[in-house]
Amino acid sequence: MGEGETPGQPRQDWSPDYVHKCAVCGSTQDVIPVTEWNRGLCHHCLPRCLEHRVFNEIRRRQMIGPRERVGVAVSGGKDSSSLLAILAVLRRQKPFTLVAIHIDTGIGEYSAWSRAAVEELCRRYAVRLVVENTADYGVSPRTLGPWPACAVCGSIRRALLPRVARRENLEVLATGHALEDMLQTLLKQVLSGRSFCPKPVLPATPYDPKKIKPLYLVPEKLTAAYARMKRLEHVEELCPYFLPETHRFKEVFEHLERLAPMSKVQVLTNLGRLMKPPPVSERLFVCEDCGEASQRELCPLCMIRRLQHGQPVPFLKTQPGDAVGRPFEGTKEEQDPENLGDASE
């Protein structure tokens, strides 16, 4: 029986002893047990080990081709700031163009801090920064009928990022989704019966650049440690609109990982092999308001703008009056936040 265990009590942690020792240098000081990768890493060895791991995934999955123009979405949080820094290091070894894209959502001080952190980070790594203000599109991330502000914000970002990428002639769009983000999306898909697995690489379509998630096997605790170790400018405060319940599924995987070390990565990779990638949404319409290729008569961005400005959206059962704060009358499908816009990321 190990230290700290009480007879008759179930074990809390099934991690093997060696994850408490650095797999690179053997130190037992300041070691982060990374059961997800079946090893321990000390603070000193972590940054290089993480960079190598991400470089290997980028190579193995052919995420970035030679001399491609890569846009990286940087929110100012730990994950995307780490991704920008890692790609900036990789750029020294491999010729490609890196451009940072920041969406400023205009949420008071929080957005000001985020933007300042991203600007500082881009100066430090000499990366060109493109800032897009959601106010310029007449939209803002606030609650809209059944859709919480987080879902509205996600839809705005998903719609805006590929547009900016197209305008800037970027061939690849990288986002900082970490292992737990992938697992949470996977579980939501399974529970809703969609059975699509989020993929680390989505090929380019006639409308969108190739989308890559280089951190898809990196646990969030490692991006947090990396950002701290490299002293990356980033915002640690939570967005004032953050809803803990929209992230509650992550706890399931933390518990599973304690019971069965390595299971987070195994769930993602094994189910990823069995499940289909999200379908490429056909865009047979031209948005009535902005002229973008769209799945419906209005693109998600223009739909949100109309609802937020009290204008009708003909194909929705929700009408402007309903959409602002009142009980929602739409169909069950319309009430699903994933259906607010194109959910494929």
Count of residues that bind Zn ion according to CB under 5 A = 12
List helix spans (H) across the chain: 46-60, 78-90, 108-125, 149-167, 179-191, 220-229, 250-259, 263-274, 300-308, 320-323, 332-335
Of 51, 44, 3, 1, which is closest to residue 23 (Cα–Cα)?
44
What residues between 253 and 292 interact with Zn ion by CB under 5 A?
287, 289-290, 292
Q: Which is nearer to Zn ion, 70 or 139 (CB)?
A: 139
In the complex, the smallest distance separating the C-beta of residue 270 from Zn ion, rounded to whole angstroms, is: 30
What residues between 222 and 251 interact with Zn ion by CB under 5 A?
none
Q: What is the DSSP letter of 78?
A: H
In the complex, the smallest distance separating the C-beta of residue 47 from Zn ion, rounded to whole angstroms, is: 11
Residue 173's DSSP bridge partners are: 71, 211
Q: Which is nearer to Zn ion, 24 or 89 (CB)?
A: 24
Q: Report the residue from 19, 32, 34, 42 that binds Zn ion according to the rule CB under 5 A.
A: 42
* Cα torsion angle, 275, 200, 259, 246, sign: negative
| CA distance linking residue 47 with residue 191, whole number of Å | 36
Query: Interacting stretch for Zn ion, rule CB under 5 A, among 35-43, 47-55, 260-268, 313-321?
Result: 35-43
Taking CB under 5 A as the rule, does residue 334 contact Zn ion?
no
- Measured N-to-C along each axis, helices 46-60 and 78-90 cross at an angle, to the nearest 10 degrees, of 70
Q: Which is nearer to Zn ion, 184 or 318 (CB)?
A: 318
In the complex, the smallest distance separating the C-beta of residue 43 from Zn ion, rounded to whole angstroms, is: 8
Q: Which is nearer to Zn ion, 300 or 337 (CB)?
A: 300
- Measured CA angle at 227 (ends 222, 228), to 5 deg: 95
Taking CB under 5 A as the rule, does residue 24 contact Zn ion?
yes
Binding site for Zn ion (CB under 5 A): 22, 24-25, 27, 42, 45, 287, 289-290, 292, 299, 302
